[in-house]
Structure 1
Amino acid sequence: MTTRIPVAVYAEDPVLRTGVTHQLRPRPEVEVLAAGDGSPALVALVVVDEVDDSAARLLRSLKRSSTTRTGVVVSRFDHDSLQVTVDCGVSAVVRRAEADQDRLVATVLALAKGEAVLPGDLVGRLLDHVGRLQRSVLDPNAPTLSTLTPREADMLRLIAEGLDTAEIATKMSFSERTVKNVLHEVNTRLNLRNRAHAVGYVMRHGLI
């Protein structure tokens, strides 16, 4: 008989934990560990609405367990969440809307085999994230997202969309003088020649 995979389910909301536990418990492939069970879990499933600070703390604590592979079942997942999950060593992300019994069991089996599970639309984001990490290792002085303030990034996005100074000022509720000063500061700080150079530079480095 195939050994059942021990799974620990974590959720601050007891309804979420009960729901996932209820789906997993009847399946012969897995063994859902009871809360407080001292047995080591091979797989941990963290069920949350979003990857907030509380979830991040839990994920980091699970990362310190070398024997546990972690997956996240989540409702809302954005770029910042991807950053946190990668940093915390999460190997699987499943959206709660898609987390039926078969999907959850398939995720547990994949994690137990050392495989990763991601929704298709997140694969591209992950590859982009990995590419940025690689570039930062190869060139520690390369620009990062912190190179630009949110206001600067927004202005450069609008320039990339073809807006002129007056249109940017109207859209962002600034004076034209403010827009010019902000863009001048970006060009000066990054040693760029003009707006076209600035847009090309930040797009090439994935900053907008």
Structure 2
Amino acid sequence: MTEAVVTRVVVADDQTVVREGIVMLLGLLPGIEVVGSAADGEEAVALVARHRPDVVLMDLRMPRCDGGEATRRIRAGYPGTEVVVLTTYADDDSLFPALRAGARGYLTKDAGAEEIARAITDVRSGAAGLSPQVQLRLLERLAGPAPATAAGTRPDTEAGAGAGTGAGAAGELPDGLTTREAEVLGLIAQGLSNTEIARRLYVSPATVKTHINNLFAKTGVRDRAQAVGYAFRHGITGSPQ
């Protein structure tokens, strides 16, 4: 029988009550083992050096060494350890420096246990663990004027444009994507998980995963965060339901 995979986690937060609460919460989740907790970024880096955890759940605003600097040091020195930011703040000045420092996940502290567990699982598997609100903020940041045609019209308003998928004038999709792959990509851009996409499309999660693997290979994106950016750039944002 195959042994269950256990994800080893370090928690870093300068507020004792919050830190202990997160440790207690994670201790109740299956497949997660908390191997240490830190009150600042210096302690977090030291714990990573000692325990080599799979994931650090990192607050941003801490004394001595903040979460952004700690993330940079961890990703530079211990690339096998991923970082998920868990913070009160989702403003641009907090979000984008953290992602540039190497964080693969970003959640705010109103996230529930299921969302935290999913982000930890996602980053360990090589995906991004971003809350839907953060994905939306990334989309807004990527927003820019749509390119105009010679006649001054937007390409996605030409006759024959695909409804809700940003297909071109003749209905073509970029990089050889199929209609279903574009549909899955659009739902990723809306912040849906694989399970939610499966329910929306009435298919199995395994089928969704196959579509995602295929569209990642065709578009050259490495994770869900890059997929969201790709979807927005190409107008493949799905149809809200």
Shorter-chain TM-score range: 0.5 to 0.7
Unaligned runs of 5+ in 1: 133-208
Q: Deviations over 1:111-165 (max 9, x none)?
A: 1111112222322432465689xxxxxxxxxxxxxxxxxxxxxxxxxxxxxxxxx
The alignment partner of 2:84 has SS state of strand
The alignment partner of 1:22 has SS state of helix
In structure 2, give the amino acid aligned to 1:63.
R
Contact 2:9 2:36 in 1 (8 A): no
In structure 1, give the amino acid aligned to 2:67.
A
In 1, distance between residues paired with 2:4 and 2:142? Answer: 36
In 1, distance between residues paired with 2:34 and 2:58? Answer: 13
Summarize the Cα distance change of 1:101–1:122 in structure 2 as closer, same or farther, 3 Å threshold: closer
Summarize the Cα distance change of 1:103–1:79 in structure 2 as closer, same or farther, 3 Å threshold: same
For the aligned residues, what is the CA RMSD? 2.4
Aligned position for 1:17: 19
In 2, distance between residues paired with 1:63 and 1:95? Answer: 21
Q: 1:55 aligns with which of 67, 74, 88?
A: 67
In 2, distance between residues paired with 1:96 and 1:48? Answer: 11
Please, what TM-score do these two structures have when normalized by structure 2? Answer: 0.48
Contact 1:17 1:47 in 2 (8 A): no
In 1, distance between residues paired with 2:23 and 2:60? Answer: 14
The alignment partner of 2:59 has SS state of strand
In structure 2, give the amino acid aligned to 1:59.
T
In 1, distance between residues paired with 2:142 and 2:75? Answer: 19
Please, what TM-score do these two structures have when normalized by structure 1? Answer: 0.55
Q: 1:106 aligns with which of 108, 118, 127?
A: 118
Q: Highest CA radius of gyration, 1 or 2?
A: 1
Bigger helix share: 1
Q: Deviations over 1:72-116 (max 9, x none)?
A: 111121011122112111111111112x22222111111111111
Summarize the Cα distance change of 1:75–1:122 in structure 2 as closer, same or farther, 3 Å threshold: same
Aligned position for 2:30: 28
Q: 2:128 aligns with which of 116, 124, 128?
A: 116
Percent of aligned positions with the same letter in both sequences? 19
1:46-195 to 2 correspondence within 5 Å?
46-48=58-60, 54-64=66-76, 65-98=78-111, 100-127=112-139, 129=141
